[in-house]
Amino acid sequence: MEYLMAKIELSNISHTYNPNDTNPTYALNPFSMTWENGKRYAILGPSGCGKTTMLNIVSGLVRPSKGKILFDEHDVTDLITEERNIAQVFQFPVIYNTMTVYDNLAFPLRCRNFTDQKIKERVKSVSDTLRLSSFLNSPARKLTADQKQLISLGRGLVREDVAGVLMDEPLTVIDPDLKFRLRRNLKEINEQYKTTLVYVTHDQNEAMTFADNIIVMDQGEIVQVGLPKDLFEKPRTTFVGYFIGSPAMNLFRSEILSDNSIKFNNGTIKTKTDLSKIKDKNVKFGIRSEFIKIATDQKENIVSVKVTRVEDFGNFKLITGKAGDLEIKSKVEREIPISTEELKLHLPAEKCCIYSNEMLVN
Amino acid sequence: MEKLYKFLKYTFIILWTVFIVAPFLWAISTSFKDFQSVNSKVTYIPWLDFEPTLEGWRVLVKSPARGGVDIVEPYFNSLFVTCTASLISIVLGTLAAYALSRFTFKAGFVRNNDITFFFISQRIMPPIVLSIPFFIFLSTIGLLDSLIGLVVVYIVLLMPIAVWIMVDFFNRVPKELDETALIDGCNPYQAFYKVVLPNSIPGLIVAGMFCIIFGWIDFFFAFILTFTEVQLLPVKVVALNSSITPWWSLSASALISVAPLIIVAFVVERYLSKGNLSGALK
């Protein structure tokens, strides 16, 4: 039985690669998640955080140590890859060396007994999208690395009825210009065919521009699932704040002073967060450098810093300053003149995030 | 600089070619000589230096009456034993190697690497150690002095080579290739023979070549395990020798013994020089 265009549900999944040890180390800690049909998801996280394991569990290459996978409410945990109707693209091109480009692209369809007519049609459509049409009859092994990766990608996209296309950093070997176009193509394919796309990456820009929903992972743990905007403005943990955004979020050790203010350097910073329920007075305070502006006539939340470095990125300037021992970064428009000595920065209260035990306080 | 490099390169190639080809030329020339032309003075060129004769070759076919040995039957025996044993070794060896490369085995303290080493260790042992066990084994099951018995023994000798080469080869084929095939809709068996196997042709060729060479040239077991019923080429060629060394027939037999390997080398060379020996999938 095949599951076409399905909602994918991961229920209480966890996985360890050494289940027989007395203290198994978990590549994936227990989690549950649902991938709606037809949406684009990006899984974002540093290397070794369990992204690939998660994909392999969904495609059936790895059987989870615990938990269930449901495609449209049907339990597929025990089904082998072949029976799951999933497409997966790996980080490095995997091509069938002995076949032509056409045969490579047609292979997934042939395995599933599509008619020649249908195969021709699909291969043509996919090869047009990926600009492989002129190579269709050449042996696949003669192509360059990025063309080979396009073939891998093409094999993933050639079946339009799949439950999902899982991509494991598929564009690593492709040059930036083509990368940009391909990402847009993937989006178009998703919009046109309503194929669920899951995209693993460690590049936040890729994730942000590609996905409806971003899943941030760290050390086998799902730390936050949300829209790009949420991840940027309200990172749920300090890790997300640190990992998302360039530069990383400004994070400082701090102490709670009152129900809505904390200590910063020798001054006080007001926040919109209710801090009355937190027992541990030691917290972390985070703010995006994008939200820190040079103070004009504000009265509160002013920090005066000694400028140590100004970097011009062309479209903005990045100011690094020191307030006491604390280093603070601020992104400002490049037209604004910056005094090289002292600077007063304004930290808007509504943009301040407070973290207790590395978790965001709401 | 470029020119010097080219000059040195071609000089080396020419010297090396002469080095390789000279013995063959010598053997070809000698095989057409008679007693006189070999033993009196040094001769090189037929018709000019000596009168060519087919005596050396005739001895190999027509037999004992004229002091020669019939090597036609042993020749085909050798072909049969070598090809059969190589083929079976390659098939079994490839399957074993694929399993060793892709699955994890555990039996007590034995792991994949131990199993692979077990295969290889069969070749580490000096063959003489195996001669008595093999002899007793074959005589017990009544296969001493028979083609089947030889095939069995040669499989034992050749399969480790096939396993060894193929494990190494499969290990260099990324497992993503199999996984991709599974995702594309193959079952594990189809993934093996539709995708992994076609990609492994260079490895299979190398393994096959080694099997054929080692099978073809083996003298030791052919000598120990056969008497009169069945004889293999190497044993028979040695039997050609007598108190007066028959250089002409020895040369002729050497040439036709080497012939199959030369043919194999030419066939295989086409595949090896295609540059996909490395199994480069990335």
Kindly report, residue by residue over B214-249, the tens digit of the pLDDT: 999 999 999 999 988 888 889 888 888 877 788 888
Q: What is the pLDDT of residue B273?
A: 59
Using an 8 Å CB-CB cutoff, list residues of chain B that contact chain A: 174, 176-177, 179-180, 182-188, 190, 195, 198-199, 201, 276, 280-282
Q: Testing the interface with A: which of B178, B182, B184 to mutate, by most A Cβ within 10 A?
A: B184
Average pLDDT over residues B64-76: 76
Q: Say yes or no: A4 contacts chain B, CB-CB below 8 A.
A: no
Q: What is the pLDDT of residue A126?
A: 87
Q: Where are the domains of chain A?
A: 8-233, 247-360
Q: Look at residue B192 and tell me whether its pLDDT is greater than 80.
A: yes
Position of tokens 């990368």?
A: A179
By Cβ distance, the residue of A86, A94, A98 closest to B174 is: A94
Question: Of A218, A213, A359, A222, which is closest to residue A286 (Cα–Cα)?
Answer: A359
Q: What is the pLDDT of residue B64?
A: 59
Instruction: Please provide residue A254's backbone torsions phi and psi, each rounded to the nearest 5 degrees.
Output: -155, 175
Q: Look at residue B42 and tell me whether its pLDDT is greater than 80.
A: no
Q: H-helix or E-strand containing A103?
A: helix A101-111
Whole-structure pTM value: 0.77
Chain B residues whose beta carbon lies within 8 Å of the beta carbon of residue A146 = none
- Render pLDDT for A144-189 as a digit per residue (tens, 0 to 9): 888 888 888 889 888 877 888 899 888 877 888 888 888 888 888 8
Q: Give span(s): CATH 1.10.3720.10, chain B.
A: 72-239
Average pLDDT, chain A: 86
Q: What is the pLDDT of residue B278?
A: 47
Q: What is the pLDDT of residue A121?
A: 92
Average pLDDT over residues B15-37: 89
Q: Which long-range contacts (CB under 8 A, 24 or more apart) does B185-190 make?
A: B185/A82, B185/A108, B185/A111, B185/A112, B186/A82, B186/A111, B187/A80, B187/A82, B188/A80, B190/A111
Q: Look at residue A16 and tell me whether its pLDDT is greater than 70.
A: yes
CATH T-level topology, domain B72-239: MetI-like fold (1.10.3720)
Q: Look at residue B163 and tell me whether its pLDDT is greater than 60.
A: yes
Q: Look at residue A39 and tell me whether its pLDDT is greater than 60.
A: yes
Q: Look at residue B276 and tell me whether its pLDDT is greater than 60.
A: no
- Count of beta carbons in the 10 Å neighbourhood of residue A326: 17
Q: Among all residues of chain B, which has the CA nearest to that of A163?
A: B183
Q: Look at residue B280 and tell me whether its pLDDT is greater than 70.
A: no
Q: Look at residue B48 and tell me whether its pLDDT is greater than 90.
A: no
Contact B182 A82 (CB under 8 A): yes
Q: Look at residue A198 and tell me whether its pLDDT is greater than 60.
A: yes
Q: Measured between CA atoms, how close is A99 to chain B, in angstroms?
A: 9
Q: What is the pLDDT of residue A106?
A: 93
CATH T-level topology, domain A8-233: Rossmann fold (3.40.50)
Highest CATH level, class, for A247-360: mainly beta
Q: Amino acid letter at A183?
A: R
**pLDDT band per the 50, 70, 90 thresholds, residue B67:** low
Q: What is the pLDDT of residue B277?
A: 46
Alpha-carbon distance of B231 to B235, in angstroms, equals 7
